[in-house]
Amino acid sequence: MLSVLPFPDIDPALFTVTLFGMEFSLRWYALAYIGGLLIGWWLVARLMRRPALWGGTPPMEPKRTEDLLTWMVLGVVLGGRAGFVLFYQWEYYSQNPGAILAVWEGGMSFHGGMLGVLLGIVGFSLVNRLPMVRIGDAIAAVTPVGLFLGRLANFINGELWGRPTDLPWGVVFPGPAAQTCPDLAEICARHPSQLYEAGLEGLLLGLVILWGVSRRGWLQAPGRVTGVFLLGYGLARTFVEGFRQADAQFITEDNPLGHVLQLGEFGLTMGQVLSLPMVAVGLLVLLASRRRR
């Protein structure tokens, strides 16, 4: 008998209310976005109140973090949606442009959101005449919190599940994931890849950055935290993609692993194609930060 873990019976909606005959729900996924942004805002404000961490004067006054939050919300939402449309579902949305605005139906991309946040940092810094790299370091330092909450919400929603596995911690997800695995005779258990990502991209990376900021003075070297974040996330996401079920639109009979780039016998998923450049950029930023310190 295959040893598996049952999927926890957690309603994706925290609560639902009915107003004027219409139902409105607060879903865990939306709460993860809200919580990640608000906690990140609070942490950035705390960083700005700690001159010693910066080796002198922080890059901005704590009260300015309220304006920064507005830029970050726009960057996350607009960038995340645009990234999903362009990177994952362009064929569908190019034929149904009206559906692009239907964000309540789901569909966000981390890589798109990251590019949106990057543009937000550039815009905020230019408008307020603030040091762009140091503002980026502050955002990078708190981003793992949002990643951790977001991946937990993915797990609760039963989405972005992993590939089939016979390991004892395999989870039987509901819905489409519950189909019989082709290589297993019994019920289909899958890697809880959302939890792998929460642990690596969120918890572990966050602890490494916390240690570097509090114990090693990383904020005193402009770009150091940003470089560590890009490198750490890129490596973690590239690794977990090996356990994560590829997006359905990339899977065919001849391409069961959903590779979008084939390099001889080796292939890369869309997540890896988008994450590996982050590793290269992270290394370059880290090298540059050594000269700035």
Side chain identity, residue 164: P
> What is the predicted pLDDT for the residue at 187?
74
> What is the predicted pLDDT for the residue at 12?
77
> What is the predicted pLDDT for the residue at 57?
94
> What is the predicted pLDDT for the residue at 200?
97
Which pLDDT tens digit goes with each residue over 118-142? 999 999 999 999 999 999 999 999 9
Report whether 172 contacts 187 (CB < 8 A).
yes
Q: Is 134 annotated as a binding residue?
A: no
Which pLDDT tens digit goes with each residue over 217-265? 999 999 999 999 999 999 999 999 999 998 877 888 788 888 988 887 7
Distant-in-sequence, close-in-space partners of 178: CB < 8 Å, separation ≥ 6: 172, 187, 188
Q: Strand pairing of 266-268 and 261-263?
A: antiparallel
> What is the predicted pLDDT for the residue at 159?
86
- Please give the full DSSP string across 187-213, using - where no structure is assigned: S--B--HHHHHIIIIIIIHHHHHHHHH
Q: Mark the ranges of the chain whose per-residue pLDDT is less than 50.
A: 1
> What is the predicted pLDDT for the residue at 183?
59
> What is the predicted pLDDT for the residue at 250?
82
> What is the predicted pLDDT for the residue at 132?
96
Angstrom distance (rounded) from CA 210 to CA 133: 18
